[in-house]
Structure 1
Protein backbone atom coordinates (compact mmCIF):
# COMPACT_ATOMS: atom_id res chain seq x y z
CA UNK A 1 0.00 0.00 0.00
CA UNK A 2 2.78 2.41 0.87
CA UNK A 3 4.65 1.60 -2.35
CA UNK A 4 1.50 2.15 -4.43
CA UNK A 5 0.87 5.49 -2.79
CA UNK A 6 4.49 6.60 -3.12
CA UNK A 7 4.52 5.74 -6.83
CA UNK A 8 1.14 7.21 -7.71
CA UNK A 9 -0.49 3.89 -8.55
CA UNK A 10 -4.08 4.66 -9.47
CA UNK A 11 -5.64 1.56 -7.93
CA UNK A 12 -4.63 -1.18 -5.51
CA UNK A 13 -6.65 -4.40 -5.88
CA UNK A 14 -6.02 -6.57 -2.84
CA UNK A 15 -7.10 -10.21 -2.49
CA UNK A 16 -7.72 -11.06 1.15
CA UNK A 17 -9.86 -13.99 2.37
CA UNK A 18 -13.41 -14.61 3.47
CA UNK A 19 -13.47 -14.73 7.26
CA UNK A 20 -10.55 -12.33 7.74
CA UNK A 21 -10.83 -11.10 11.32
CA UNK A 22 -8.38 -9.88 13.94
CA UNK A 23 -10.19 -12.15 16.43
CA UNK A 24 -10.22 -15.23 14.14
CA UNK A 25 -9.06 -18.55 15.59
CA UNK A 26 -6.33 -19.07 12.96
CA UNK A 27 -3.17 -17.12 12.29
CA UNK A 28 -3.95 -17.22 8.57
CA UNK A 29 -7.22 -15.32 8.95
CA UNK A 30 -5.74 -12.91 11.50
CA UNK A 31 -2.89 -12.12 9.11
CA UNK A 32 -5.39 -11.42 6.32
CA UNK A 33 -7.20 -8.99 8.61
CA UNK A 34 -3.90 -7.33 9.52
CA UNK A 35 -3.16 -6.87 5.81
CA UNK A 36 -6.52 -5.18 5.29
CA UNK A 37 -5.92 -2.91 8.27
CA UNK A 38 -2.51 -1.89 6.89
CA UNK A 39 -4.10 -0.88 3.58
CA UNK A 40 -6.87 1.10 5.27
CA UNK A 41 -4.37 2.86 7.54
CA UNK A 42 -1.99 3.79 4.71
CA UNK A 43 -4.70 5.10 2.40
CA UNK A 44 -6.57 6.91 5.15
CA UNK A 45 -3.39 8.69 6.19
CA UNK A 46 -2.89 9.76 2.56
CA UNK A 47 -6.50 10.89 2.15
CA UNK A 48 -6.85 8.44 -0.72
CA UNK A 49 -9.48 5.75 -1.34
CA UNK A 50 -7.96 4.19 -4.47
CA UNK A 51 -8.02 0.63 -3.16
CA UNK A 52 -10.45 -2.27 -3.31
CA UNK A 53 -10.36 -5.38 -1.14
CA UNK A 54 -11.75 -8.77 -2.18
CA UNK A 55 -12.54 -11.57 0.25
CA UNK A 56 -12.95 -14.83 -1.69
CA UNK A 57 -14.04 -18.09 -0.15
CA UNK A 58 -11.95 -21.16 -1.03
CA UNK A 59 -11.15 -20.86 -4.74
CA UNK A 60 -11.63 -23.75 -7.17
CA UNK A 61 -10.48 -24.25 -10.75
CA UNK A 62 -8.04 -26.30 -12.84
CA UNK A 63 -4.81 -26.99 -10.93
CA UNK A 64 -6.32 -25.74 -7.65
CA UNK A 65 -4.83 -27.02 -4.42
CA UNK A 66 -8.20 -27.86 -2.91
CA UNK A 67 -10.45 -30.16 -4.94
CA UNK A 68 -7.41 -31.62 -6.71
CA UNK A 69 -5.77 -32.47 -3.40
CA UNK A 70 -8.77 -34.49 -2.22
CA UNK A 71 -9.01 -36.17 -5.62
CA UNK A 72 -5.37 -37.27 -5.33
CA UNK A 73 -5.92 -38.63 -1.84
CA UNK A 74 -8.93 -40.62 -3.06
CA UNK A 75 -6.67 -42.49 -5.47
CA UNK A 76 -4.70 -44.02 -2.62
CA UNK A 77 -7.03 -44.34 0.37
CA UNK A 78 -10.21 -46.46 0.60
CA UNK A 79 -11.62 -44.11 3.26
CA UNK A 80 -10.88 -40.41 3.67
CA UNK A 81 -10.52 -39.39 7.34
CA UNK A 82 -11.31 -35.68 7.60
CA UNK A 83 -11.29 -33.41 10.64
CA UNK A 84 -13.70 -30.50 10.52
CA UNK A 85 -15.91 -32.39 8.05
CA UNK A 86 -18.97 -30.36 9.09
CA UNK A 87 -17.31 -26.99 8.49
CA UNK A 88 -19.26 -24.94 5.94
CA UNK A 89 -17.71 -23.19 2.95
CA UNK A 90 -18.88 -21.56 -0.26
CA UNK A 91 -16.33 -22.27 -3.03
CA UNK A 92 -15.90 -19.63 -5.73
CA UNK A 93 -14.65 -20.19 -9.28
CA UNK A 94 -11.24 -18.66 -9.99
CA UNK A 95 -12.46 -16.98 -13.19
CA UNK A 96 -15.30 -15.31 -11.25
CA UNK A 97 -12.72 -13.87 -8.86
CA UNK A 98 -10.59 -12.62 -11.75
CA UNK A 99 -13.60 -11.12 -13.52
CA UNK A 100 -14.81 -9.36 -10.36
CA UNK A 101 -11.40 -7.72 -10.01
CA UNK A 102 -11.32 -6.67 -13.68
CA UNK A 103 -14.89 -5.35 -13.60
CA UNK A 104 -14.19 -3.08 -10.64
CA UNK A 105 -10.66 -1.99 -11.49
CA UNK A 106 -11.62 1.33 -13.06
CA UNK A 107 -14.96 1.91 -11.33
CA UNK A 108 -15.34 4.78 -8.83
CA UNK A 109 -17.99 2.85 -6.89
CA UNK A 110 -15.39 0.21 -5.97
CA UNK A 111 -12.96 2.67 -4.37
CA UNK A 112 -12.46 2.05 -0.67
CA UNK A 113 -14.84 -0.94 -0.74
CA UNK A 114 -14.56 -4.55 0.40
CA UNK A 115 -16.35 -7.27 -1.56
CA UNK A 116 -17.03 -10.84 -0.47
CA UNK A 117 -16.69 -13.36 -3.29
CA UNK A 118 -18.45 -16.70 -2.92
CA UNK A 119 -20.15 -19.30 -5.07
CA UNK A 120 -23.87 -19.98 -5.34
CA UNK A 121 -23.99 -22.88 -2.88
CA UNK A 122 -22.83 -23.73 0.63
CA UNK A 123 -21.25 -27.17 1.24
CA UNK A 124 -19.71 -28.93 4.18
CA UNK A 125 -16.07 -29.86 3.87
CA UNK A 126 -17.10 -33.52 4.00
CA UNK A 127 -19.44 -33.03 1.03
CA UNK A 128 -16.68 -31.37 -1.00
CA UNK A 129 -14.25 -34.19 -0.26
CA UNK A 130 -16.83 -36.79 -1.35
CA UNK A 131 -17.55 -34.85 -4.55
CA UNK A 132 -13.85 -34.54 -5.40
CA UNK A 133 -13.43 -38.27 -4.95
CA UNK A 134 -16.53 -39.07 -6.99
CA UNK A 135 -15.72 -36.74 -9.89
CA UNK A 136 -12.15 -38.04 -10.07
CA UNK A 137 -13.42 -41.57 -10.57
CA UNK A 138 -12.58 -42.84 -7.08
CA UNK A 139 -15.70 -42.54 -4.92
CA UNK A 140 -14.77 -42.83 -1.27
CA UNK A 141 -16.63 -42.49 2.03
CA UNK A 142 -15.57 -39.71 4.39
CA UNK A 143 -14.75 -40.59 7.98
CA UNK A 144 -15.29 -37.49 10.15
CA UNK A 145 -12.56 -37.09 12.77
CA UNK A 146 -12.80 -35.21 16.07
CA UNK A 147 -10.70 -32.05 16.04
CA UNK A 148 -8.46 -33.49 18.76
CA UNK A 149 -7.44 -36.38 16.50
CA UNK A 150 -7.31 -34.01 13.55
CA UNK A 151 -4.72 -31.88 15.35
CA UNK A 152 -2.56 -34.97 15.86
CA UNK A 153 -2.96 -35.82 12.18
CA UNK A 154 -2.08 -32.25 11.17
CA UNK A 155 1.00 -32.26 13.44
CA UNK A 156 2.18 -35.40 11.65
CA UNK A 157 1.66 -33.74 8.26
CA UNK A 158 3.62 -30.69 9.44
CA UNK A 159 6.59 -32.93 10.27
CA UNK A 160 6.77 -34.27 6.72
CA UNK A 161 8.93 -32.51 4.11
CA UNK A 162 7.26 -30.00 1.81
CA UNK A 163 3.96 -28.15 2.15
CA UNK A 164 1.72 -30.04 4.63
CA UNK A 165 -1.58 -31.47 3.38
CA UNK A 166 -3.19 -30.03 6.49
CA UNK A 167 -1.77 -27.88 9.27
CA UNK A 168 -3.06 -27.16 12.75
CA UNK A 169 -3.72 -23.61 11.63
CA UNK A 170 -5.85 -24.96 8.76
CA UNK A 171 -7.90 -26.85 11.33
CA UNK A 172 -8.31 -23.72 13.41
CA UNK A 173 -9.73 -22.00 10.32
CA UNK A 174 -12.32 -24.77 10.03
CA UNK A 175 -13.81 -23.95 13.42
CA UNK A 176 -15.62 -20.99 11.82
CA UNK A 177 -17.84 -21.27 8.74
CA UNK A 178 -16.32 -19.84 5.57
CA UNK A 179 -19.50 -18.47 3.99
CA UNK A 180 -20.61 -15.10 2.65
CA UNK A 181 -22.90 -12.82 4.62
CA UNK A 182 -24.84 -11.84 1.48
CA UNK A 183 -25.06 -12.65 -2.25
CA UNK A 184 -22.22 -11.34 -4.40
CA UNK A 185 -22.63 -7.60 -4.96
CA UNK A 186 -24.51 -7.12 -8.27
CA UNK A 187 -22.28 -4.16 -9.16
CA UNK A 188 -19.50 -6.66 -9.80
CA UNK A 189 -21.47 -8.07 -12.73
CA UNK A 190 -20.86 -11.70 -11.80
CA UNK A 191 -23.28 -14.63 -11.91
CA UNK A 192 -21.49 -17.08 -9.59
CA UNK A 193 -20.45 -20.29 -11.33
CA UNK A 194 -21.61 -23.57 -9.83
CA UNK A 195 -18.92 -25.99 -8.68
CA UNK A 196 -20.82 -28.82 -10.38
CA UNK A 197 -20.44 -27.19 -13.79
CA UNK A 198 -16.65 -26.89 -13.66
CA UNK A 199 -14.96 -29.26 -11.20
CA UNK A 200 -16.12 -32.56 -12.79
CA UNK A 201 -14.43 -31.50 -16.04
CA UNK A 202 -10.95 -30.91 -14.63
CA UNK A 203 -11.14 -33.70 -12.06
CA UNK A 204 -12.22 -36.30 -14.63
CA UNK A 205 -9.59 -39.06 -14.82
CA UNK A 206 -7.51 -39.18 -17.99
CA UNK A 207 -8.56 -41.87 -20.44
Structure 2
Protein backbone atom coordinates (compact mmCIF):
# COMPACT_ATOMS: atom_id res chain seq x y z
CA UNK A 1 0.00 0.00 0.00
CA UNK A 2 1.39 3.44 -0.88
CA UNK A 3 1.82 5.91 1.96
CA UNK A 4 0.16 9.31 1.95
CA UNK A 5 0.73 12.78 3.32
CA UNK A 6 -2.56 13.42 5.10
CA UNK A 7 -4.01 16.50 6.75
CA UNK A 8 -6.56 15.47 9.37
CA UNK A 9 -9.25 17.81 10.66
CA UNK A 10 -10.99 16.61 13.80
CA UNK A 11 -8.03 14.41 14.64
CA UNK A 12 -8.16 15.21 18.36
CA UNK A 13 -11.69 13.85 18.79
CA UNK A 14 -12.89 10.35 19.57
CA UNK A 15 -12.85 8.97 16.01
CA UNK A 16 -9.85 11.10 15.07
CA UNK A 17 -7.63 9.60 17.75
CA UNK A 18 -8.46 6.07 16.66
CA UNK A 19 -7.94 6.99 13.00
CA UNK A 20 -4.61 8.72 13.74
CA UNK A 21 -3.33 5.60 15.46
CA UNK A 22 -4.42 3.42 12.56
CA UNK A 23 -2.92 5.66 9.88
CA UNK A 24 0.42 6.11 11.63
CA UNK A 25 0.65 2.34 12.17
CA UNK A 26 0.54 1.89 8.40
CA UNK A 27 3.20 4.52 7.80
CA UNK A 28 1.21 7.53 6.65
CA UNK A 29 2.51 11.02 7.42
CA UNK A 30 -0.17 12.89 9.41
CA UNK A 31 -0.67 16.56 10.18
CA UNK A 32 -3.46 17.17 12.71
CA UNK A 33 -4.99 20.64 12.88
CA UNK A 34 -6.26 21.80 16.27
CA UNK A 35 -7.21 24.98 18.10
CA UNK A 36 -5.30 23.93 21.23
CA UNK A 37 -2.04 22.13 20.57
CA UNK A 38 -0.93 21.90 24.20
CA UNK A 39 -4.07 20.03 25.23
CA UNK A 40 -3.39 17.30 22.67
CA UNK A 41 0.33 16.75 23.03
CA UNK A 42 -0.33 13.10 23.91
CA UNK A 43 -0.93 12.48 20.20
CA UNK A 44 2.74 13.27 19.55
CA UNK A 45 3.66 9.79 20.81
CA UNK A 46 2.41 8.57 17.44
CA UNK A 47 5.62 8.46 15.39
CA UNK A 48 4.40 10.05 12.14
CA UNK A 49 2.04 12.65 13.64
CA UNK A 50 2.61 16.40 13.74
CA UNK A 51 0.17 18.79 15.43
CA UNK A 52 -0.38 22.30 14.11
CA UNK A 53 -2.37 24.91 16.01
CA UNK A 54 -4.66 27.26 14.11
CA UNK A 55 -8.18 28.18 13.07
CA UNK A 56 -9.58 25.64 10.61
CA UNK A 57 -12.23 28.18 9.59
CA UNK A 58 -9.49 30.46 8.23
CA UNK A 59 -9.13 29.74 4.47
CA UNK A 60 -5.52 30.96 4.39
CA UNK A 61 -4.57 28.65 7.26
CA UNK A 62 -6.20 25.71 5.48
CA UNK A 63 -4.41 26.41 2.21
CA UNK A 64 -1.07 26.68 4.00
CA UNK A 65 -1.53 23.38 5.84
CA UNK A 66 -2.88 21.53 2.80
CA UNK A 67 0.17 22.51 0.72
CA UNK A 68 2.26 19.43 0.04
CA UNK A 69 -0.48 17.07 1.24
CA UNK A 70 -2.11 14.60 -1.13
CA UNK A 71 -5.12 13.73 1.07
CA UNK A 72 -7.40 15.60 3.48
CA UNK A 73 -9.71 13.88 5.96
CA UNK A 74 -12.50 15.89 7.57
CA UNK A 75 -14.01 14.46 10.75
CA UNK A 76 -15.18 17.74 12.28
CA UNK A 77 -18.69 17.63 13.71
CA UNK A 78 -20.70 18.89 16.66
CA UNK A 79 -23.73 17.34 18.36
CA UNK A 80 -24.89 20.64 19.85
CA UNK A 81 -24.33 24.31 19.17
CA UNK A 82 -23.93 27.24 21.54
CA UNK A 83 -27.16 28.86 20.34
CA UNK A 84 -30.39 27.37 19.08
CA UNK A 85 -30.88 28.81 15.59
CA UNK A 86 -28.73 26.39 13.60
CA UNK A 87 -25.90 28.80 12.83
CA UNK A 88 -23.39 26.78 14.84
CA UNK A 89 -24.27 23.62 12.94
CA UNK A 90 -24.14 25.44 9.61
CA UNK A 91 -20.69 26.83 10.38
CA UNK A 92 -19.21 23.46 11.37
CA UNK A 93 -20.99 21.15 8.94
CA UNK A 94 -21.78 23.25 5.85
CA UNK A 95 -19.53 26.33 5.65
CA UNK A 96 -16.37 24.50 6.72
CA UNK A 97 -16.60 21.74 4.06
CA UNK A 98 -17.01 24.50 1.44
CA UNK A 99 -13.77 26.08 2.68
CA UNK A 100 -12.05 22.69 2.74
CA UNK A 101 -12.80 21.88 -0.91
CA UNK A 102 -11.71 25.36 -1.99
CA UNK A 103 -8.45 25.02 -0.06
CA UNK A 104 -7.92 21.54 -1.54
CA UNK A 105 -8.26 23.01 -5.01
CA UNK A 106 -5.84 25.82 -4.26
CA UNK A 107 -3.27 23.46 -2.72
CA UNK A 108 -3.56 20.72 -5.33
CA UNK A 109 -4.95 18.06 -2.96
CA UNK A 110 -6.40 15.16 -4.97
CA UNK A 111 -8.19 13.08 -2.29
CA UNK A 112 -10.82 13.96 0.33
CA UNK A 113 -12.49 11.67 2.86
CA UNK A 114 -15.46 13.32 4.55
CA UNK A 115 -17.49 12.33 7.60
CA UNK A 116 -21.21 12.91 7.09
CA UNK A 117 -24.06 11.39 9.10
CA UNK A 118 -26.60 8.62 8.60
CA UNK A 119 -29.88 9.96 7.14
CA UNK A 120 -28.50 13.44 6.57
CA UNK A 121 -30.87 15.16 4.16
CA UNK A 122 -32.25 18.57 3.26
CA UNK A 123 -35.64 17.55 4.63
CA UNK A 124 -34.41 16.09 7.92
CA UNK A 125 -36.05 17.35 11.14
CA UNK A 126 -32.90 18.66 12.87
CA UNK A 127 -30.30 21.33 12.20
CA UNK A 128 -27.66 18.64 12.75
CA UNK A 129 -28.87 16.38 9.95
CA UNK A 130 -29.73 19.18 7.53
CA UNK A 131 -26.33 20.85 7.96
CA UNK A 132 -24.56 17.52 7.54
CA UNK A 133 -26.43 17.07 4.25
CA UNK A 134 -25.29 20.51 3.09
CA UNK A 135 -21.67 19.67 3.85
CA UNK A 136 -21.87 16.34 2.07
CA UNK A 137 -23.42 18.00 -0.97
CA UNK A 138 -20.63 20.60 -1.02
CA UNK A 139 -17.81 18.06 -1.11
CA UNK A 140 -19.54 15.72 -3.56
CA UNK A 141 -20.30 18.64 -5.88
CA UNK A 142 -16.58 19.50 -5.92
CA UNK A 143 -15.55 16.01 -7.03
CA UNK A 144 -13.90 15.76 -10.43
CA UNK A 145 -11.55 13.61 -12.46
CA UNK A 146 -8.67 15.14 -10.50
CA UNK A 147 -10.34 15.42 -7.10
CA UNK A 148 -11.62 12.18 -5.63
CA UNK A 149 -14.16 12.36 -2.80
CA UNK A 150 -15.59 9.63 -0.56
CA UNK A 151 -18.20 10.27 2.13
CA UNK A 152 -19.11 8.16 5.16
CA UNK A 153 -22.44 8.19 6.99
CA UNK A 154 -22.17 6.29 10.27
CA UNK A 155 -24.81 5.50 12.83
CA UNK A 156 -23.81 6.26 16.42
CA UNK A 157 -20.19 5.20 16.97
CA UNK A 158 -19.05 3.29 20.06
CA UNK A 159 -15.73 2.14 21.45
CA UNK A 160 -13.18 2.99 24.17
CA UNK A 161 -13.40 6.70 24.86
CA UNK A 162 -16.77 7.20 23.16
CA UNK A 163 -19.25 9.88 24.19
CA UNK A 164 -22.26 7.60 23.78
CA UNK A 165 -22.11 4.56 26.06
CA UNK A 166 -19.74 6.36 28.44
CA UNK A 167 -22.14 9.27 28.83
CA UNK A 168 -24.97 6.94 29.81
CA UNK A 169 -22.59 5.11 32.14
CA UNK A 170 -21.70 8.38 33.89
CA UNK A 171 -25.36 9.33 34.25
CA UNK A 172 -26.36 5.89 35.52
CA UNK A 173 -23.66 5.99 38.21
CA UNK A 174 -25.22 9.19 39.57
CA UNK A 175 -28.94 8.39 39.52
CA UNK A 176 -30.42 6.85 42.69
CA UNK A 177 -32.87 4.32 41.25
CA UNK A 178 -34.99 5.80 38.46
CA UNK A 179 -33.61 6.92 35.11
CA UNK A 180 -36.00 9.08 33.04
CA UNK A 181 -35.20 8.40 29.38
CA UNK A 182 -36.37 10.57 26.51
CA UNK A 183 -37.28 8.94 23.17
CA UNK A 184 -36.81 5.41 24.57
CA UNK A 185 -38.05 3.68 21.42
CA UNK A 186 -35.66 5.44 19.04
CA UNK A 187 -33.62 2.82 17.24
CA UNK A 188 -29.87 2.69 16.66
CA UNK A 189 -27.45 0.39 14.87
CA UNK A 190 -24.21 1.27 16.71
CA UNK A 191 -21.00 0.82 14.76
CA UNK A 192 -17.60 0.07 16.31
CA UNK A 193 -15.06 2.88 15.94
CA UNK A 194 -12.34 0.54 14.66
CA UNK A 195 -14.65 -0.62 11.87
CA UNK A 196 -15.25 3.02 10.92
CA UNK A 197 -11.54 3.87 10.83
CA UNK A 198 -10.86 0.69 8.85
CA UNK A 199 -13.34 1.87 6.22
CA UNK A 200 -11.59 5.24 6.04
CA UNK A 201 -8.15 3.69 5.74
CA UNK A 202 -9.15 1.09 3.16
CA UNK A 203 -10.86 3.65 0.98
CA UNK A 204 -7.72 5.76 0.52
CA UNK A 205 -6.50 3.98 -2.63
CA UNK A 206 -9.60 2.09 -3.74
CA UNK A 207 -10.71 3.76 -6.94
CA UNK A 208 -14.09 2.02 -6.70
CA UNK A 209 -14.88 4.18 -3.66
CA UNK A 210 -14.21 7.46 -5.50
CA UNK A 211 -17.36 9.56 -5.72
CA UNK A 212 -19.32 7.24 -3.41
CA UNK A 213 -21.06 7.68 -0.05
CA UNK A 214 -21.33 4.78 2.39
CA UNK A 215 -23.72 4.10 5.26
CA UNK A 216 -21.87 2.49 8.16
CA UNK A 217 -23.78 0.46 10.76
CA UNK A 218 -23.08 -2.37 13.15
CA UNK A 219 -24.65 -5.83 12.90
CA UNK A 220 -27.49 -5.32 15.42
CA UNK A 221 -30.33 -2.87 16.02
CA UNK A 222 -31.36 -1.71 19.51
CA UNK A 223 -33.84 0.72 20.96
CA UNK A 224 -32.38 3.45 23.13
CA UNK A 225 -34.02 1.78 26.14
CA UNK A 226 -32.25 -1.50 25.32
CA UNK A 227 -28.90 0.27 25.05
CA UNK A 228 -29.27 2.03 28.40
CA UNK A 229 -30.42 -1.22 30.02
CA UNK A 230 -27.36 -2.99 28.61
CA UNK A 231 -25.04 -0.31 30.02
CA UNK A 232 -26.75 -0.61 33.42
CA UNK A 233 -26.18 -4.37 33.42
CA UNK A 234 -22.51 -3.93 32.57
CA UNK A 235 -22.20 -1.54 35.52
CA UNK A 236 -24.11 -3.88 37.86
CA UNK A 237 -26.43 -0.95 38.39
CA UNK A 238 -30.00 -1.72 39.43
CA UNK A 239 -32.14 1.05 38.03
CA UNK A 240 -35.67 1.50 36.74
CA UNK A 241 -35.59 3.00 33.25
CA UNK A 242 -38.61 5.27 32.96
CA UNK A 243 -39.37 5.80 29.28
CA UNK A 244 -40.84 9.24 28.66
CA UNK A 245 -43.66 9.78 26.17
CA UNK A 246 -43.21 12.22 23.30
CA UNK A 247 -44.49 15.26 25.16
CA UNK A 248 -42.28 14.63 28.19
CA UNK A 249 -39.30 13.85 25.97
CA UNK A 250 -39.75 17.22 24.29
CA UNK A 251 -40.07 18.92 27.68
CA UNK A 252 -36.91 17.25 28.97
CA UNK A 253 -35.01 18.42 25.88
CA UNK A 254 -36.33 21.98 26.30
CA UNK A 255 -35.14 22.05 29.93
CA UNK A 256 -31.80 20.27 29.48
CA UNK A 257 -30.93 22.62 26.62
CA UNK A 258 -30.25 25.32 29.21
CA UNK A 259 -28.20 23.14 31.55
CA UNK A 260 -24.37 23.38 31.65
CA UNK A 261 -22.88 21.34 28.84
CA UNK A 262 -26.29 20.99 27.16
CA UNK A 263 -26.60 17.22 27.85
CA UNK A 264 -29.75 16.97 25.72
CA UNK A 265 -31.28 19.54 23.39
CA UNK A 266 -34.31 20.12 21.21
CA UNK A 267 -32.12 19.51 18.16
CA UNK A 268 -31.09 16.14 19.64
CA UNK A 269 -34.77 15.41 20.20
CA UNK A 270 -35.56 16.21 16.57
CA UNK A 271 -32.67 14.02 15.34
CA UNK A 272 -34.07 11.12 17.38
CA UNK A 273 -37.29 11.24 15.37
CA UNK A 274 -35.42 9.35 12.64
CA UNK A 275 -34.11 5.87 13.48
CA UNK A 276 -30.35 5.67 13.06
CA UNK A 277 -30.35 2.34 11.23
CA UNK A 278 -29.07 1.23 7.82
CA UNK A 279 -31.08 -0.28 5.00
CA UNK A 280 -28.41 -2.85 4.20
CA UNK A 281 -25.26 -4.51 5.50
CA UNK A 282 -21.84 -2.97 6.07
CA UNK A 283 -20.42 -2.09 2.61
CA UNK A 284 -18.77 -5.19 1.18
CA UNK A 285 -16.13 -3.16 -0.66
CA UNK A 286 -14.20 -2.72 2.61
CA UNK A 287 -14.09 -6.42 3.52
CA UNK A 288 -15.06 -5.74 7.14
CA UNK A 289 -17.18 -7.91 9.39
CA UNK A 290 -18.51 -5.32 11.85
CA UNK A 291 -18.26 -5.99 15.57
CA UNK A 292 -21.29 -5.88 17.83
CA UNK A 293 -21.79 -3.92 21.03
CA UNK A 294 -21.61 -7.11 23.09
CA UNK A 295 -18.21 -8.01 21.65
CA UNK A 296 -16.53 -4.72 22.51
CA UNK A 297 -18.32 -2.82 25.27
CA UNK A 298 -17.51 -5.24 28.14
CA UNK A 299 -13.82 -4.33 27.73
CA UNK A 300 -14.43 -0.71 28.72
CA UNK A 301 -17.72 -0.73 30.62
CA UNK A 302 -17.51 -2.15 34.12
CA UNK A 303 -18.47 -1.15 37.66
CA UNK A 304 -14.83 -0.19 38.26
CA UNK A 305 -13.98 1.71 35.05
* Same fold by TM-score greater than 0.5: yes
Deviates more, 1:151-160 or 1:60-69: 151-160
Map of 2:131 onto structure 1: 31
Gaps of 5+ in 2: 1-100
| 1:11 aligns with one of 106, 111, 115 | 111
1:20 matches 2:120: yes
| 2:157 aligns with one of 56, 59, 62 | 59
TM-superposed deviation, 1:49: 5.0
Contact 1:55 1:116 survives alignment (8 Å)? yes
| 2:199 aligns with one of 95, 100, 110 | 100
Could you tell me how far apart the structure 2 residues matched to 1:60 and 1:83 are? 20
Map of 1:91 onto structure 2: 190
RMSD of Structure 2 on Structure 1 (CA): 1.4
User: What SS does the aligned partner of 1:63 have?
Assistant: coil
Contact 2:183 2:243 survives alignment (8 Å)? yes
Could you tell me how far apart the structure 2 residues matched to 1:125 and 1:90 are? 10
Pairs within 5 Å for 1:27-176 = 27-43=127-143, 46-77=144-175, 78-162=177-261, 164-176=262-274
Could you tell me how far apart the structure 2 residues matched to 1:140 and 1:60 are? 22
User: What SS does the aligned partner of 1:54 have?
Assistant: strand
TM-superposed deviation, 1:140: 2.2
Could you tell me how far apart the structure 2 residues matched to 1:83 and 1:18 are? 21
Contact 1:24 1:30 survives alignment (8 Å)? yes
Note the alpha carbon deviations across 1:35-80, whole angstroms, 9 max, x for none.
011112222xx55450100000000011211111111111122121
1:199 matches 2:297: yes
Could you tell me how far apart the structure 1 residues matched to 2:259 and 2:283 are? 41
> Which contiguous aligned blocks of 4+ residues in structure 1 show a shift greater than 3 angstroms?
46-49
Structure with greater contact order relative to length (CA < 8 Å, sep ≥ 6)? 1
Contact 1:74 1:139 survives alignment (8 Å)? no
User: What SS does the aligned partner of 2:257 have?
Assistant: helix
TM-superposed deviation, 1:147: 2.1
Q: Which has the larger radius of gyration?
A: 2
Gaps of 5+ in 1: none
Could you tell me how far apart the structure 1 residues matched to 2:174 and 2:188 are? 25
| Count of matched residue positions in the alignment of Structure 1 and Structure 2 | 204
User: What SS does the aligned partner of 1:203 have?
Assistant: coil
